[in-house]
Amino acid sequence: MNKKKRLYSKLTVLGLVTTFALLGGCSDNSNETNQAETPSFEDVSVHDPSVIKDDGTYYVFGSHLAAAKTDDLMNWEQIEGDGADASNSLFDNVKEELSETFEWAQTDTLWAADVTQLEDGRYYMYYNACRGDSPRSAMGVAVSDNIEGPYEDLGIILKSGMGAGEDDVDGTPYDDAFYPEVYNATVHPNVVDPHTFFDKDGKLWMVYGSYSGGIFILEMDATTGMPLEGQGYGKKLLGGDHSRIEAPYMVYSPETDYYYLYLSYGGLDAIGGYNMRVVRSENPDGPYYDAAGNEMTDVKGAAGTVFDDGSIEPFGVKLMGNFEFTNPETEISSGYVSPGHNSVYYDEETDEQFLIFHTRFPDEGEFHQVRVHQMFMNEDGWPVVAPHRYTEESLAQVSEKEIRGEYSFINHGKEISDEVKESLSIELEKNNSISGDVSGEWKLTDENSAELTIDGVTYKGVFLEQWSPTAEAVVMTFTALSEEGIAIWGSKIQ
């Protein structure tokens, strides 16, 4: 019998807005300067959340025309739930407004939306619809003077999945070298999952794609919100041959002068092994590399295969997959299943970065919620993700004495699997050795930088005090990354 006491949200009757109140207080042996009141959260369900900040408020827009907002990244308010229907306030009547999109994609719902504000001050929603069992999709753009809508359609900008004799979005037959007469899903993109972004020079781009022919990038017109003419589908960045890579999201870091392309590998359902990865480039249109130095351009499935995870599994920096922390003293546990389709918010004023994603939970089926974790750049210029959800923590100077002790330990590995990584027990000892279920050495390299060597592999990251739901206290944690692109986490056991 499983005696674990799992900490999850209490689902309301509608299954949309939930509350997660963490009970208990901080233990006496935590750092008193970092004690905080027990945090509470208001949680929401938005699949594929794409973030935008407007006038001090963070908004996420996602699939099925769901949306939510927050002022603190902890307490969310649902704006719209799962329903691309006439009652959805983001459009006056979405079924009429986007009738051409629904007709082409042969569906009654929308997939992952992305909203950006352009030079005219208006809000542009990049919407998309897909049949689902094939890459027959349409992507378009709608505009509003108000971020919460209603949005008015400006038209379809891309289509995919067409057959012989069908026309492209401009009415031109697919009969040239780039647009063949018959769409080929192994090399041409599924036109879903858009993200528009400005590069460091103020130029507008859009990355998009899911499975099928891979992830592509287009140059955009920042005045109209439309793709620049003559690009076709744009430039391929990675993927192809139906490999399960999707949900591209791009962020530029002034700290490192790199563009970071975040991706989700695997399948999004509870048994799909969804996991978040990242690659980087000196240019928005690539080429992109992972931490091991692999160029991502030709990373794709083996020819003639469908969903060949083995071909893509070794590539990309894996930031988070299925995991479950368990406190061996209380048997309280918490964790995620198939976390993914993330967006990232970088605060230029504070240099803080936040990973925003949807996730399912162990033994909770397909129920999902939005989660936010803070991220930090490690010594090698790669993002590492805080082990626990955001509760307004920040990096601070720590001491070796505070670090020493017993930890629950997670190694996220590189697998694309439905297996949930169960935490191991390790100890960071006074002599800077690591003992327990793994062995090695640890050290504090400056105020809070972490370096851990386990089984001959070195991981670099940070030490950070966070609220732990399994310890029910503020505890020391670490998050670090290897050159192979594998993330490890530790959360101190109180």
Nearest partner of 204 among 183, 177, 222, 180, judged by Cα: 222
Specify the 3-state DSSP secondary structure of 183: coil
Amino acid at 143: V
Cis peptide before 287 (omega within 30 of 0): yes
Amino acid at 98: L
pLDDT at 185 over 50: yes
Q: Select the more confidently predicted residue: 37 or 219.
A: 219
Q: What is the pLDDT of residue 168?
A: 58
Strand residue runs (E) in 212-316: 215-219, 235-238, 245-253, 258-265, 275-281
Could you tell me whether strands 114-117 and 76-80 are parallel, antiparallel, or unpaired per DSSP bridges? unpaired
Annotated catalytic, 181?
Answer: no
**Residues 159, 168: contact at Cβ < 8 Å?**
yes
Residues 335-387 have pLDDT tens digits of 999 999 999 999 999 999 999 999 999 999 999 999 999 999 999 999 999 99
Annotated catalytic, 170?
Answer: no
How far is 133 from 158, CA to CA, in rounded Å? Answer: 19
Amino acid at 434: I
Residues 15-34 have pLDDT tens digits of 333 333 322 222 333 333 34
The catalytically annotated residue of 43, 48, 153, 406 is 48
The catalytically annotated residue of 42, 219, 241, 246 is 246
How far is 362 from 350, CA to CA, in rounded Å? Answer: 34
Residues 431-475 have pLDDT tens digits of 999 999 999 999 999 999 999 999 999 999 999 999 999 999 999
9 — pLDDT class (breaks 50, 70, 90): very low
pLDDT at 122 over 50: yes
Q: What is the pLDDT of residue 38?
A: 87
How far is 342 from 363, CA to CA, in rounded Å? Answer: 22
pTM of the complete model = 0.92
CA torsion sign for 488, 489, 493, 494 is positive
Q: What is the dihedral of CA 237, 243, 248, 252, to 10 degrees?
A: -50
CA torsion sign for 79, 17, 341, 106 is negative
Q: What is the pLDDT of residue 45?
A: 98
Specify the 3-state DSSP secondary structure of 312: helix
Amino acid at 49: P
165 — pLDDT class (breaks 50, 70, 90): low
**Residues 325, 387: contact at Cβ < 8 Å?**
yes
Residues 254-311 have pLDDT tens digits of 999 999 999 999 999 999 999 999 999 999 999 999 999 999 999 999 999 999 999 9
For the chain, what is the mean pLDDT?
91
pLDDT at 179 over 70: no
